[in-house]
A and B are shown apart, each in its own frame.
Chain A
Amino acid sequence: MISCKDITKNFGEFHAVSHASFLVPRGSICALLGPNGAGKSTVVKILTGLLRATSGSVEICGTRSDDPALKRIIGILPESLALFDALTVAEHLDLTGAAYKLEPAVIRERTDQLLRVLRLEHGRSTFIHQCSYGMRKKTALAMALLPNPRALFLDEPFEGIDPVTAETIRMQLRSIARRGITVLLTSHILSLVDRVADKVVMINRGRIVFDANTNELPDTLENLYFEMVERAEGEELAWLGPEASQAS
């Protein structure tokens, strides 16, 4: 379970997150939605113990976020991916396995399987600086899954990867949640979120503006997002010339 109670994070005068509270039950998938700069990544960093909240409290599967033991029970796909240019794809997984004190045979077995599932086998010996963005994202995702965590925090897992892998990840996340692992993800791809999440939390300018289970949504997720978070602005670029119908 992920419990976030009244957290606030200020950077000087700037309120990145204001009094955010929500709960993600064990074995469910929660999507944290919001525009760029809304505070999603800050919330994820606070939940994963990478950033100290100005006030409020956080518990992940019964462990407080300031407890160093938290690292052993969570898996993170960070916004920056946090990968080393000087390591290959497979070496990143070796390092993760060793850090979590997994047996070498277990690391090898899980690495092979993760690379196969994420369609990353061809790149196992490729250095990260030579990988495409999609390959890097899959590597960071594989690192989050390898230690078999009790809670997963995925910052934009579907962005920048091919549709087949996105669908594979969606299926894997559903399977992971069925095994009792709690997942919190952020995304801008509402069509995928609609199909993967059990719960949706929307954040705008650091404040939670919507929190509901996906089976109780009063409207489509897209409509709700535009209503609760922000509307698309349709300014015309007149210098592109007249529209085809006007031109004719």
Chain B
Amino acid sequence: MARTGSITGILKALRQASWRDFRSLGSVGGQNFFLFLLLVALQPESAQFFFLILALILLFPLSADPMQKIPADRRATWPLRKWEWGAIRLGSLALSPISWAAALLIGSRTNWSAGVLLLGSAIVLQLLRLLVKSSLKRLPEANWFYWIPAPPGVIGSLMRLQWREMLRTLDPYVALLLVICTELFRLSGKPLESAALRIMSLVVALAISTQTQVLFGIDGSGAERYRQLPIRGWQILLAKDLAFLVLLGLLVLPLDLVSGLTAGVVALAIGHHRSVMNVTPQAQWRFTSGVIFPDGVIQSVLLFAAGNVVREQGLWLAALCVFAWLASLLFYGWQWDRNRFARS
């Protein structure tokens, strides 16, 4: 009895940890891209593609092995027999959302091949993850984050930090997948409407625009360091903004650079308010989560509006957007300096 008690006790703890982890994926609900998905869902045939992109990215965190939640060192100290660990391992599989989805698909018979494919993809992703983890343990320099260069000066050091932090969230990977799919479509030789590249460039900007609402949230406990260093608020914001614009620029380069960057500066001009006045901590390897109403809605509408007409309206609109961004940067940089005292 005591033996099965230890198995159920551990499985119960694993269930709680897995549930907490699963709920953290709800951060997608605070995404501007999610807002976009809700809108395109009104036209189901167009929505399928975007939902598929989101599902592909979510497959990474969803396929995580629940057993990994018990640290290996801790596992080694618990006095459990092999068969008990075997039972826990089997029980833990039922805690994975991928197992539920795969079981449902396989059970439905009509979609059993999709279920097998889902399960197979999750296992392959797990194996890849373990492989990468063990290689990085042996050779830390193999981590590609290590090779992200820093431009000179303190702004450059902060830009490198911001790039790495942005790339530790899921947002840029949705954007990257959108760009890759668009380019593959172009390469296939199928006809593409003239406005399609501009629209895709705006969707890419939208996919990473929530980052502008949480510029300090992705710093984790390091955010406190900014208050200890002799750096002005506008310098920190400038570094974070430039990092965002460079990443966005690289993503939209094959699509429509001008429209994408215009949308980016608009997103930043609006996002500064939430970033500075209400720092919300973000989790790594999850979607960044901002505020949909009103910030996200305003950002999405204005970035689409400005990005969509900038080519027709010409330089004056681009200049106006840049001016608004700079004004916002200086104002919220000043706000940051004013609020330099920690809250606790």
Contacts and interface: CB of A to CB of B under 8 A. Distances in A.
A82 B154 contact: no
B293 interface: no
A95 to B, nearest CB: 4
Interface string A59-101: 0000000001001100010101111111110010011101111
Contact of B140 (A68, A101, A127): A127
A86 B230 contact: no
B194 to A, nearest CB: 40
Given A84-B222, A95-B161, A78 B228 contact: yes
Main secondary structure of the interface of A (DSSP, over half): loop
Given A95-B158, A98-B157, A11 B344 contact: yes
Interface in B201-252: 219-225, 227-231
Contact of B221 (A80, A88, A127): A80
A172 interface: no
Interface stretch (B9-17, B297-305, B334-342): B334-342
A67 B342 CA distance: 15
Interface string A116-144: 00000000011100100000000000000
B48 interface: no
Contacts of A126: 140
Q: Which DSSP category, helix, strand, loop or mixed, fits chain B's interface?
A: helix
Contacts of B284: 85
B157 to A, nearest CB: 4
A198 to B, nearest CB: 25
Between A82, A86, A91, A94, the greatest number of chain B beta carbons within 10 A of the residue's beta carbon is seen for A86
Nearest to A79: B224
Chain A CB within 10 A, most for which of B225, B231, B284, B344: B225
Contacts of A101: 154
Nearest to A71: B230
Contact of B154 (A11, A49, A68, A95): A95
Contacts of B143: 127
B294 interface: no
A111 interface: no
B165 interface: yes
Interface residues of B, number: 34
A125 B221 contact: no
Contacts of B225: 82-84
A30 to B, nearest CB: 20
Nearest to B337: A68
A45 interface: yes
A130 B157 CA distance: 20
Interface stretch (B145-153, B253-261, B269-277, B312-320): B145-153
B168 A83 contact: no
A51 interface: yes
A141 to B, nearest CB: 13
B222 A51 contact: no
B224 A99 contact: no
A50 interface: yes
A72 B231 CA distance: 10
B342 A51 contact: yes
A186 interface: no
Contact of B224 (A78, A87, A94): A78
Nearest to B342: A50
B141 interface: yes
A52 interface: yes
A28 to B, nearest CB: 23
Contact of A94 (B150, B165, B221): B150
Given A88-B146, A98-B154, A45 B230 contact: no
Interface in A201-235: none
B146 A83 contact: no
B341 A51 contact: yes
A82 B165 contact: no
A8 interface: no
Interface in B102-116: none
Interface centre among B146, B157, B168, B219 (most CB of A within 10 A): B157
Contacts of B165: 84, 86
Contact of B164 (A86, A98, A100): A86
A87 B227 contact: no
10 contacts: A68-B230, A80-B221, A84-B161, A84-B165, A87-B161, A91-B150, A91-B160, A94-B157, A95-B161, A98-B156
Closest 9 CB pairs of A and B: A84-B222, A86-B164, A98-B154, A82-B224, A82-B225, A71-B230, A99-B229, A95-B157, A52-B341
Interface of B: 140-141, 143, 145-146, 150, 153-154, 156-158, 160-161, 164-165, 168, 219-225, 227-231, 284, 337, 340-342, 344
